[in-house]
A and B are shown apart, each in its own frame.
Chain A
């Protein structure tokens, strides 16, 4: 009897939730080894910096261009700073950082864990009475969750700088206007919204990456499929959660 896609999807949601509980249960023992967590923050976060910073800069510049063009129709060019900053902090920063994270760090996580499974390393750990979820999965999960808000903050800053680069240097909006209006408009609640979104996306992306890697078929093809599934399901989940969270904050 072939399972219908809906039934298969629901089974997967249950499976992932169960796995999340198992990983969370192993997070406290994993925190007893801070060196491993720091190493995973480096792998997930520091190694993603180049792509995050480059994309943030160009996105900020595009935001500056498009925003200026749109606001000019209403004679509100001076509000470019506000538009760029709020758009970055509340929406584009968390979402795009999460998507880039899923593409770079998420696939690296999934393939690393998948390869460990394919080469019997996870089974060897089980046979040595070491829980692979505690030793391998939980530190990587925590590393991703901690790295995501940090990467988002860097993305926001560079993105706003990119918008400023276009607005002030190219479009000749006075720098004082740009920054003072931004400072007035952006409040703590906006920043909180961005931080909470980035944390939720961090949990979602890291969880899907470690789940797909851990449950990958132990073959080369299986690991490849797992990395593809990581990106696809992360992208869909991020955008779904984004809608839910945005609606909740408004």
Chain B
């Protein structure tokens, strides 16, 4: 397939009928979803539903057994290693725990992708890194080591690192997990402001229904390897699907059962050994 001029593409990421399984376990059955240019797209779902696996499929780390994934109009599975690396330079990714390189300072962590991919004079690099740290509010922390940062700060440094090469797409893997309300507010605000000011497309994988409802332009709810519901946040809140209602309201029991499958309780208690 010839390279499509990505400036014309409305859908930057296009997942078509993807099936993926690992060790006899089906993670995805017939997954179809699209990410629109310039939008903040939320991917939500119960734990273990494969949201992180989906990100790995999009980034070409693993290949689907069936179906196609197009990123910037290119079939990810058909790319060779150097083409894949070229694609990844246009996508920034924020990992759940930040994944900062522990041996490098905050400054060096943010500078890392630039040092690897660009030949910039040191003074220009310094200004670039300081600007990105300023965007996430951590310019004063440039000399700290990752071990000295709190969880929220580490995530913000990782965000600065993810945007340092000015990517076209930013992927956030559970950016709000484990954060206090203030840090959550900071990250949510950053996701929104970066999407607007950098004119990028954002994909946010998250459990946090309330926060995602505030910022997402479009949401997907993944359950059992399929899209159970999609739409703008108000659509999901108004959905009459039982699984969607359980997830959006956080009800402990429903289509996603509270009790793990087990034999009859009474019989098991009275079992003679």
Residues of the A chain whose Cβ atoms lie less than 8 Å from the Cβ of B231: none
Partner of B113, one of A116, A120, A126, A128: A128
Residues of the A chain whose Cβ atoms lie less than 8 Å from the Cβ of B84: 129
Question: Interface readout for B69-87 with A: 1 if CB under 8 Å, 0 if not?
Answer: 0000000000000001110
Residues of the A chain whose Cβ atoms lie less than 8 Å from the Cβ of B59: 127
B86 A129 Cβ-Cβ under 8 A: yes
Separation of A131 and B116 alpha carbons in the complex (Å): 10
Any B CB within 8 A of the CB of A180: no
Interface footprint category on A = 10 to 19
A39 (CB) vs chain B CBs: closest residue: B103
Question: Interface readout for A1-14 with B: 1 if CB under 8 Å, 0 if not?
Answer: 00000000000000
- Known A119-B102, A121-B101, A124-B99: A130·B116 in contact at CB below 8 Å: yes
Interface residues in chain A, defined as those with a beta carbon under 8 Å from any beta carbon in chain B: 116, 119-121, 123-131, 135
A119 B97 Cβ-Cβ under 8 A: yes
- Known A119-B97, A120-B99: A128·B61 in contact at CB below 8 Å: no
CB proximity of A148 to chain B, nearest CB, Å: 23
The segment from B20-28, B88-96, B262-270 that touches chain A is B88-96
Residues of the B chain whose Cβ atoms lie less than 8 Å from the Cβ of A129: 84-86, 88-89, 113, 116-117
A125 (CB) vs chain B CBs: closest residue: B101
Separation of A124 and B86 alpha carbons in the complex (Å): 15
A-B pairs under 8 A by CB, number = 48
- Known A128-B113, A130-B113: A120·B88 in contact at CB below 8 Å: no
Separation of A102 and B129 alpha carbons in the complex (Å): 39
Partner of A120, one of B89, B97, B112, B116: B97
Main SS class of interface, A: helix
Within 8 A of A (CB), among B84-132: 84-86, 88-89, 91, 93, 95-97, 99-102, 112-113, 116-117
Residues of the B chain whose Cβ atoms lie less than 8 Å from the Cβ of A127: 59, 61, 88, 91, 93
A123 B95 Cβ-Cβ under 8 A: yes
Residues of the B chain whose Cβ atoms lie less than 8 Å from the Cβ of A121: 99-102
Q: Could you write out 18 A-B pairs with CB less than 8 Å apart?
A: A119-B97, A120-B95, A120-B96, A120-B97, A120-B99, A121-B101, A121-B102, A124-B95, A124-B158, A125-B101, A127-B88, A127-B91, A128-B89, A128-B112, A129-B84, A129-B89, A131-B85, A135-B116
B93 (CB) vs chain A CBs: closest residue: A127
Separation of A225 and B113 alpha carbons in the complex (Å): 32
Counting chain A CB atoms within 10 Å of each CB, the highest count among B86, B102, B161 belongs to B102
CB proximity of A130 to chain B, nearest CB, Å: 5
Separation of A229 and B258 alpha carbons in the complex (Å): 40
Residues of the A chain whose Cβ atoms lie less than 8 Å from the Cβ of B86: 129
CB proximity of A89 to chain B, nearest CB, Å: 37
Counting chain A CB atoms within 10 Å of each CB, the highest count among B59, B61, B97, B99 belongs to B99
Separation of A124 and B101 alpha carbons in the complex (Å): 9
Counting chain B CB atoms within 10 Å of each CB, the highest count among A119, A123, A129 belongs to A129
Please name the 5 residue pairs, one residue from A and one from B, whose CB atoms are nearest each other, closest first.
Answer: A129-B85, A124-B99, A120-B99, A129-B88, A127-B93
Separation of A23 and B176 alpha carbons in the complex (Å): 37
Separation of A61 and B131 alpha carbons in the complex (Å): 62
Residues of the B chain whose Cβ atoms lie less than 8 Å from the Cβ of A131: 85
Residues of the A chain whose Cβ atoms lie less than 8 Å from the Cβ of B96: 120
Separation of A130 and B59 alpha carbons in the complex (Å): 14
